[in-house]
């Protein structure tokens, strides 16, 4: 399953680092952050709780930039 979320991030480098952290999250098959459109596209592994995984993605991204936000 793939889903797209709106994000709030201040710079392209932070967006790139957020993408790296999102990809490391358990339950995420792939993730792509587009700084120009301020969106993150996440592909999830089969059979997982999407909302639970996205909370972990959000936590991991906040390690990169505390002010970032992912709107679920």
Which CATH class name applies to 2-71?
alpha beta
How far apart CA 50 and CA 34 sit, in angstroms, is: 20
How far apart CA 36 and CA 44 sit, in angstroms, is: 23
Contact status, residue 68 vs residue 21, Cβ threshold 8 Å = no
Q: pLDDT tens digits, residue range 10-55?
A: 899 999 999 999 999 999 999 999 999 999 999 999 999 999 999 9
Strand ordering across the sheet containing 69-71: 28-34, 39-44, 2-8, 69-71
Task: Pick the closest to residue 53 from 32, 34, 31, 26 (CA basis).
Answer: 26
State the pTM of this model.
0.93
Residue 64 scores a pLDDT above 90: no
Domain boundaries, the chain: 2-71
């Amino acid at each position: 399953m793939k889903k797209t979320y709106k994000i709030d991030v201040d710079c392209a480098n932070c967006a790139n680092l957020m993408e790296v952290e999102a990809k490391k999250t358990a339950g995420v098959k792939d993730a792509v952050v587009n700084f120009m459109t301020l969106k993150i596209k996440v592909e999830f592994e089969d059979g997982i709780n999407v909302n639970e995984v996205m909370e972990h993605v959000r936590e991991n991204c906040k390690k990169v930039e505390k002010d970032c936000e992912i709107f679920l």
